[in-house]
Chain A
Amino acid sequence: MSLDNANNYFSIDDILATQQRVPCKVEMPLYRLGYLDSSNEGEHLRPGTKIEMPYWMARALCGRRRNIVSVELPKSYKEGYREILTADPTVVDLHKLGPYFYRFGSELLKFEVPDTPDISKSLLQAFQGRIRKIMDSSQNAFHEDTTKLTEKLDETERILFKAGQCGLNDFQRWETRKTEKLTTSEMVRNHRKRKRGPEEA
């Protein structure tokens, strides 16, 4: 898992980020696809039906050239939530709103809705407001339970947090001359743990 595979075809994170649902309105009839909307009785999806679609599907149906559905912003990117983010970005639980809040947000910019400039600005400001606290906590939590620190972080921020922790731990190990010790591979160790589990039970 890393930050640079944002648009990688094989990236599981990217797939998960584009999986989230966006509210859409059907503009052109979609024949024999009535079952996509569970509250719909008919065989077809008629124009005017409101339906939540995964992002990737909405993206294929709504673009510059085609307008089979029209897209609305998900609640967490609308003005109300943007105001909360501007007020104090550090207290917002982005994991609950996201888990891929930034990534999904920047994907949403591809739909050219009137709010686009505001969203991009608010995403950037939220990130700038939060990064200092994340950096601080990741550099100072040594041998501690970090679940409390990371529970409100979006997936991208968690990667950053982990990178900071990794740097801190490596530095500490270097300082205490532990780097020269040869250790068991991590995969081998995890494999042993998993194996031991069922035998004991």
Chain B
Amino acid sequence: MPVGHECFIGKSEIVLKSKHLHIFAHTGLVVCALIYSVVISVSDVTFIFHQYERSATVAGEGGLFSGVQLRHAALERNKRCLLAYLYNRLEQIKKMRWEFGSVLPAEVKFNMCEQEVQWFGRYNKMLANYMRSIGGEGGMDLTQDLKPPKTLYIEVRCLMDHGEFETQDGNIVVLKKNTQHFLLRSECEHLIRQGILEHIVH
């Protein structure tokens, strides 16, 4: 029996735990190891198929079919689990583009494997190109105004020190913790979404 043979049925469960934990709790290395181990189990199964072929003449072909069928089902299952895992991670990354913005926090990036980082970069680029191509001259930022705007200016309070912030009309506002400002909504919406400012409504 080749090594790692028994793992080919248990592997799927590991992938599925990701639903109960947080799908993003796995680091990039874990993901790569997971892919590698499933691929290894696939090549093990192919090895077993070849063994079967050799012994088929001895035991008669009909009897071996059932084993092949079972292993094939396990293989397909592992493939499905792995693909579903990767797909759901990608969905998560896609969502992050909209929630965190185009730059991800370092800890999140640390949990992505290299291919995912590349994918995120390409997604970013595609989204930016698309937003530039619509809505006339200057393009249109789709990540703005997720809720219908009511006023042009809004009152905000700083939740943390963020340093200087240059507004469109050239003024420089120092965003210091607990200070309040009256800013153009379109300019500070993304800062609110990132949790740096708090929107004050009366």
| Interface, chain A (partner B; CB < 8 A) | 9-13, 15-16, 19, 28-33, 35-36, 56-57, 59-61, 66, 68, 177-189, 191-192, 195
Contacts and interface: CB of A to CB of B under 8 A. Distances in A.
A33 B59 CA distance: 15
Interface size class of B (residues with CB under 8 A): 35 or more
Interface in B18-43: 18-19
Contacts of B67: 30-33
Given A180-B150, A195-B107, A61 B199 contact: no
B194 A188 contact: yes
A19 B70 CA distance: 15
B117 interface: no
Given A31-B67, A68-B66, A180-B201, A12 B99 contact: no
Interface stretch (B79-87, B120-128, B130-138, B172-180): B79-87
Contact of A187 (B81, B96, B154): B96
A181 B201 contact: yes
A35 B84 CA distance: 27
Given A28-B63, A185-B100, A68 B69 contact: yes
A182 B192 contact: yes
Contacts, number: 112
> Chain B binding site: helix, strand, loop or mixed by DSSP?
helix
A195 B160 CA distance: 15
13 contacts: A12-B16, A15-B16, A29-B66, A31-B59, A31-B63, A32-B48, A36-B9, A60-B69, A66-B66, A68-B69, A188-B99, A188-B100, A189-B195
Given A57-B73, A60-B70, A185 B107 contact: no
A182 B147 contact: yes
B170 interface: no
